[in-house]
């Protein structure tokens, strides 16, 4: 190990001393090394969580896109159902209409509100 001289603030020295008193470190140097180790572990955890966050964001975006497609399909299906219902109604009206009415419709077209 190499020796390094470090200047610290009073509260930082207090944290080193507190660590020694708690028995977590045998010296201030040991306490400082442990702080570095914890920092590296926290940095690794942060990177893993950040990666997981980005993956979740991407999954959320994919889910939003799927939901949008489902809504668009539902809208299309609703329009198709309405069209089929209108066609059935027109066909039923055609079957129930008399010969004169059918002839009129063939010449001038069938009004939807008739």
Helices (H) and strands (E) in the chain, counts: 3, 0
> Please, how many CA atoms are within 13 Å of residue 9, restricted to the half-sphere of its CB?
3
Q: How many domains does the chain fold into?
A: 1
**Residue-level length of the chain:** 114
Cα-based angle 22, 24, 29 (whole degrees, multiple of 5) = 115
Q: Per residue in 53-107, pLDDT tens?
A: 999 999 999 999 999 999 999 999 999 999 998 888 888 888 888 888 888 888 8
Q: Which domain holds residue 30?
A: 10-107
- pLDDT value, residue 24: 87
Q: In terms of C-beta density within 10 A (0-12 exposed, 13-18 middle, 19 or more buried), how is residue 103 classed?
A: exposed
Residue 112 located in a structural domain: no
CB-based contacts of 86, cutoff 8 Å, min separation 6: 112
- pLDDT value, residue 65: 97
Residue 96 located in a structural domain: yes
The pTM score is 0.59
Residue 19 located in a structural domain: yes
- pLDDT value, residue 109: 84
Residue 2 located in a structural domain: no
């Amino acid at each position: 190990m190499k020796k390094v001289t470090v200047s610290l603030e009073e509260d930082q020295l207090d944290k080193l001393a507190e660590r020694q008193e708690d028995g977590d470190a045998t010296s201030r140097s040991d306490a400082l090394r442990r702080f570095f180790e914890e920092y590296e572990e926290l940095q690794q955890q942060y990177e893993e969580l950040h990666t997981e966050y980005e993956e979740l964001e991407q999954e959320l975006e994919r889910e939003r896109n799927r939901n949008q497609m489902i809504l668009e399909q539902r809208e299309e299906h609703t329009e198709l159902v309405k069209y089929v219902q209108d066609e059935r109604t027109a066909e039923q009206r055609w079957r129930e209409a008399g010969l004169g009415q059918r002839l009129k419709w063939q010449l001038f077209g069938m009004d939807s509100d008739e």
